[in-house]
Structure 1
Amino acid sequence: MDKRTAYVEALSAQIVEWDVQIDLLKDKAESAPPALKFDCYGVIAALQLKRDEAAVKLQGIAAASDDEWEDLKTGTEQVWEEVRTILRDTIVKIT
């Protein structure tokens, strides 16, 4: 397996894990106090947008040529870090 394939597979697995975590956050938001519930849904919506942006970046890497994918990797990793940060902060806020 080449580096790009391994990278794409790892990121794909991460997106699946994020989807599970987002669903868990939605469940927790449902049982949150009304004042917190509205904020939670706003943050979850922002998290889902970033997750979707990460998925688009991943598709770009998967479709890129061998020379291009390394250049796309940097932008992808930035979005990945943003998703991780938002997810971590949301988990702390809701739990």
Structure 2
Amino acid sequence: MSEKELYRQKMKARLDELMADIDKLKAKASGASADVKLKLTQHINDIEVKVDEGKAKLAELGNTKEERWESVKEGTESAWEALKHAVKDVSAKFK
């Protein structure tokens, strides 16, 4: 298996983990008061935009030729970090 494919699988696994965290936030929102639910839902919607960006980067990575994938890796890392921080921030705000 190529280094690119191993990296893509690793990032996909990380994304899946964060999706589980997002599902927990959604469950928390469903049981929250109306005010908290509204705020949490807005944050979740913002996070889901970042999830879509992450998925797009993974797709781009998968479609990139083997010799050029390192250049796409930076964008993938950047999208991953933004998503990870967004989930952590929202989780911390609504403990």
- How high is the TM-score relative to the length of structure 1? 0.93
Aligned position for 1:20: 20
* Residue 70 (str. 1) matches residue 70 (str. 2): yes
Q: What is the alpha-carbon distance in structure 1 between the residues aligned to residue 8 and residue 78 of structure 2?
A: 15
Q: What is the alpha-carbon distance in structure 2 between the residues aligned to residue 66 and residue 6 of structure 1?
A: 12
Q: What is the alpha-carbon distance in structure 2 between the residues aligned to residue 38 and residue 61 of structure 1?
A: 35
> Matches of residues 7-46 of structure 1 in structure 2 within 5 Å?
7-46=7-46
Structure 2: gaps (5+ residues): none
- How high is the TM-score relative to the length of structure 2? 0.93
Contact 1:29–1:94, Cα closer than 8 Å, also in 2: no
Matched residue pairs, number? 95
Q: What is the alpha-carbon distance in structure 2 between the residues aligned to residue 87 and residue 3 of structure 1?
A: 28
Aligned position for 1:48: 48
In the TM superposition, what whole-angstrom CA distance separates every residue of 1:19-71 from its partner, at most 9, and x where no partner exists? 21111100001122222111100000010110111011001111100122110
3-state SS of paired residue (1:88): helix
Percent identity between matched residues is 29
Contact 1:54–1:79, Cα closer than 8 Å, also in 2: yes
Q: What is the alpha-carbon distance in structure 2 between the residues aligned to residue 76 and residue 15 of structure 1?
A: 11
| Counterpart code for 2:10 | A
Alignment RMSD, CA only?
1.0
Structure 1: gaps (5+ residues): none
| Counterpart code for 2:74 | T
